[in-house]
Amino acid sequence: MSAAVKSPEEAQAEAAVWLARLRADTKTAADEKAFRDWLAENPANVAAFEMLTDVWETLGRARRRPVEAPPVPKLVSRRQWMMAGGAAMAAASVGLMIRGSAEAAVYETGIGEQHHVVLADGTQAFLDTSTRLRMAYDGGTRLVELECGRCNFDVVANDKRPFVVDAAGAKIVAGRTTLDVARDGEDVTVVLIRGSASVTGGHLPAEKPCVLKPGERLVMHRSGMHLDRPDLTRTLAWQTGQIVFENVTLAEAAKELNRYSVVKIDTDPAAAPLRISGVFQVGDNVAFAQMVTKLLPVSVNVESNRVQFTKVPSRERKG
pLDDT of residue 30: 78
Higher pLDDT, 91 or 147: 147
Higher pLDDT, 32 or 212: 212
Nearest to 65 by CA among 259, 261, 200, 250: 261
**How are beta strands 306-311 and 264-267 bridged, if at all?**
parallel
Q: In this predicted model, what pLDDT tens digit does every residue of 161-205 receive, in sequence order?
A: 899 999 999 999 998 889 999 999 999 999 999 899 999 887 776
Backbone angle region of 168, left / alpha / beta, with phi > 0 → left and psi within -120 to 50 → alpha: left
Domain ranges of the chain: 8-71+241-311, 78-229
pLDDT of residue 5: 65
> What is the phi/psi pair of residue 318, to 5°?
-80, 155
pLDDT of residue 207: 65
Strands of the chain (E only): list them. 97-101, 104-108, 115-118, 124-127, 132-137, 142-154, 163-167, 170-174, 178-184, 187-194, 197-201, 210-212, 217-221, 224-228, 242-249, 264-267, 275-281, 298-302, 306-311
pLDDT of residue 2: 52
Residue 303 has pLDDT above 50, yes or no: yes
Strand partners, 86: none
CA 138/CA 145 separation, integer angstroms: 14
Give the HSE-up count for residue 305: Cα atoms under 13 Å, Cβ half-sphere. 3
| Beta carbons of 213 and 192 less than 8 angstroms apart | yes
Domain 78-229 -> CATH class: mainly beta
How many Å separate Cα 97 from the centre of its chain?
21
- Tell me, yes or no, if the pTM score tops 0.85: no
pLDDT of residue 192: 93
Q: In this predicted model, what pLDDT tens digit does every residue of 134-168 receive, in sequence order?
A: 998 877 889 999 999 999 999 998 888 899 999 99
Give the H/E segment covering residue 29: helix 29-41
pLDDT of residue 105: 86
Residue range 41-61: mean pLDDT, rounded = 70
Nearest to 283 by CA among 25, 65, 45: 65
| Beta carbons of 242 and 280 less than 8 angstroms apart | yes
Q: Which residues contact 237 (CB under 8 A, 6 or more apart)?
A: 20, 243, 244, 279
Q: In this predicted model, what pLDDT tens digit does every residue of 20-29 receive, in sequence order?
A: 667 655 567 7
Residue 8 has pLDDT above 60, yes or no: yes
DSSP secondary structure, 30-80, as one string: HHHHHHHHHHHH-HHHHHHHHHHHHHHHHHHH----SS-PPP-PPP--HHH
* Second-level CATH architecture of 8-71+241-311: 3-Layer(bab) Sandwich (3.55)
The pLDDT confidence band at residue 70, using thresholds 50, 70 and 90, is very low
Nearest to 176 by CA among 132, 229, 122: 122
Give the HSE-up count for residue 30: Cα atoms under 13 Å, Cβ half-sphere. 1
